[in-house]
Amino acid sequence: MHNLIKQSALFHSLLLVSALLAACSKTPSGNTVDFNAEYPPEDGGTMIDATRGEPSGLITMIAGEAAASAVAQNIFSSLLRFDKNLEFEGELAESWQVSPDQKTITFKLKPNLKWADGKPLTSADILFTWKLVTDDKTRTPYGSDYKLVIRAETPDARTFKVSYAEPYAPAINSWAGLQILPKHLLQGQDINNTPFARNPTGSHYYKLEKWRSGEQISLVRNSLSSQGPARIERLVSRFIPDEASQFLELMANNIDTMTLNPVQYARIFPARPELEQKFGLYKELGNSYTYLGFNLKHKPFDDIRVRKAINYAINKQELIDGVLLGLGEPVSSPYKPGTRWTNPDLTPYAYDPGKAKELLRQAGFKPRNGDGVLERNGKPLSFEILTNQNKQREMSAVLIQRRLKEVGIDVRIRVLEWASFIGRFIKTGDFDMVVLGWSLAIDPDQYSIWHSSQQAPGQFNFIGYNNPRVDRLLEKGRMELDPDKRMKIYHEFAQILQEESPIVYLFAGYGLPAIHKRIKGIDNPAPPAGIGHNSQDWYIPQPLRRTEISQ
């Protein structure tokens, strides 16, 4: 039934798309536009994208979610950033120097930095942000990196200096991830509940223009940007939870870019040459994976036999083929496949329903009343999978439900809007199982996700994982500077996770962005950092701009 409904919706969607296509390649005067022509760079225009979830706020250290980060990264700056080859370069920092003993980093800020409201941005703002992220009252999952700093100083308005008790391997990376906040606007406020989260002032390429709840966020160029001006005048992110609706909006010329699902990428676009005339398609394996997570504080998920049984009961290749149409990779550790941090000795749990049934039998579960559902001590093996409005996750949950039913597990699926999902269930720990994804940093440190100390509300170890051996490895990995020794630490860490199965790795899917060819300046092929690394240099030539309604 689920597939029939989806196919019917897709059929009607395509009919509507066909009716819209002819108008999409013409200017308001009716002239046909060649989107493949070359145009010189120029400023102006509006680029519109779509996001599935509305941010809960735009202070990333508090929100801790991709929807917030996607918008906030255009508003706030960090000391450092990655270039297109994933090497560090200065953002607010003009330079940085690491002491010979590897325990102190001294950052020199660029001169004449300003906030979007015209106030000076100085080292006092960096110190203020560090104090916020390390304050125990701040409900953030990101504090652990910065709490290792034993001393932070501001010798002058352009110098920020941090010292560690021991060399800390992810130190430089951590300062590329901390978005700097304005002291003059936030001092004395409760960072967890401040109006600033809905009306922020930053220092990056863009500033907030308007936030229409339930509809969209629009940003406009910041003339005082710490990095100089961006080319595109306005960025608009529309909140469209449903992929099919996003796709219709893309075809109707109402948005410029979206991440395609595998059906759209592999079947619809190749069958319609006119689409390829208007849109550029890209394919890149990002630093993320999708997983089924257990609440380890809820029975029966505290029993490793139950967790491993569920792992054996799920056919991961079925998910890759059925949900992703083959556009993904199997996963057996919490790292990007093909990188040095991925343990080559690990392989995903095989699909083996017989072994799953045997493990459940060993755990004390027996069939009840002929309905096929197992029970233990009179309690049925029945629970709920939560996920958000994401078609790949929803489809994955349906396939998981089917496979678990075959081994005697009764599963219900509940799909929620993102903000409610995070606020009511994830941050409170009120769930049995979740289908979610992790977007990972380039550095392999995963202390904030897996260390037992990171289980407070709003922190990332919301599944309640607690293993003293893993804790020690994560602590050791942060202090090891030798890359080869560090690699061995994380290989051992991944091996323990694989054995204990606190989550079931489902897949690492390819990112499949489609971008309208009116957007110029995109690097193709994509460099290691991805196509978005130079989005500030993208531009929209005047002849290719849509007729725009004032915001």
Q: How far apart are CA 451 and CA 145, in angstroms?
A: 12
Tokens of 347: 């392989």
Pairing between strand 234-239 and 216-221? antiparallel
Query: H or E stretch including 276?
Result: helix 273-278
Tokens of 319: 């998910």
> Residue-wise pLDDT tens for the chain (551 aa)?
333 333 333 333 433 333 333 334 444 444 577 888 899 999 999 999 999 889 999 999 998 888 899 999 999 999 999 998 888 999 999 999 999 999 999 999 999 999 999 999 999 999 999 999 999 999 998 999 999 999 999 999 999 999 999 999 999 999 999 999 999 999 999 999 999 999 999 999 999 999 999 999 999 999 999 999 999 999 999 999 888 899 999 988 899 999 998 999 999 999 998 888 899 999 888 789 999 999 999 999 999 999 999 999 999 999 999 999 999 999 999 998 888 899 999 999 999 999 999 999 999 999 987 788 999 998 999 999 999 988 899 999 999 999 999 999 999 999 998 888 988 999 889 999 999 999 887 889 999 999 999 999 889 999 999 999 999 999 999 999 888 999 999 999 999 999 999 999 999 999 899 999 999 999 888 788 888 999 999 999 999 998 765 44
Cis link prior to 527 (omega < 30° from 0)?
no
Comparing CA positions, the residue from 405, 284, 300 lying closest to residue 337 is: 284
- Do domains 80-196 and 288-510 share one topology? The answer is no
Q: How far apart are CA 254 and CA 238, in angstroms?
A: 10
Up-side HSE of residue 19: CA atoms within 13 Å toward CB?
Answer: 7
- Each domain of the chain, given as residue ranges in start order, spans 2-52+205-283+513-544, 80-196, 288-510
Tokens of 81: 């950033």
The answer to whether 221 and 75 are in contact (CB under 8 A) is: no
Q: Where are the beta strands (DSSP E) in 190-303?
A: 206-212, 216-221, 234-239, 257-259, 279-281, 284-285, 288-294
Q: How far apart are CA 334 and CA 287, in angstroms?
A: 10
Q: What does each C-alpha distance from 235 to 77, 135, 217, 531 come to in angstroms?
A: 17, 33, 8, 17
Q: How far apart are CA 167 and CA 102, in angstroms?
A: 5
Q: Does domain 80-196 have CATH number 2.40.50.140?
A: no
The answer to whether 176 and 80 are in contact (CB under 8 A) is: yes
Question: Any residues with CB less than 8 A from the CB of 371 and at least 6 apart, and which?
Answer: none
Q: How far apart are CA 344 and CA 337, in angstroms?
A: 9
Scanning 451-540, the segments in alpha helix (DSSP H) are: 468-479, 483-500
Q: How far apart are CA 541 and CA 15, in angstroms?
A: 31
Q: How far apart are CA 354 and CA 361, in angstroms?
A: 11
SS3 sequence of 291-346: EEEECCCCCCCCCHHHHHHHHHHCCHHHHHHHCCCCCEECCCCCCCCCCCCCCCCC
User: Which amino acid, residue 294?
Assistant: F
Residues 360-378 as b/e (b if ≥16 CB within 10 A, e otherwise) read beebebeebeeeebbbbee
Q: Which CATH topology does 288-510 take?
A: Dipeptide-binding Protein; domain 3 (3.10.105)
The SS3 call for residue 432 is: coil
pLDDT in the model for residue 243: 85
Distance, C-alpha 513 to centroid of its chain? 14
Question: Terminus-to-terminus CA distance in the chain, angstroms?
Answer: 41
pLDDT in the model for residue 178: 96
The answer to whether 238 and 50 are in contact (CB under 8 A) is: yes
Pairing between strand 379-380 and 382-388? unpaired
Tokens of 385: 């999978």
DSSP string, 164-199: ESS--TTHHHHHTT-----HHHHTTS-GGG-GGGTS
Query: H or E stretch including 355?
Result: helix 353-362
Largest Cα–Cα distance in the chain? 76
pLDDT in the model for residue 524: 81
The answer to whether 59 and 199 are in contact (CB under 8 A) is: no
Give the Cβ contact number of residue 2 at 10 Å: 10
Backbone φ and ψ for 144, nearest 5 degrees, come out as -60, -40
Give the chain's radius of gyration (CA, Å): 25
CATH number of 2-52+205-283+513-544: 3.40.190.10
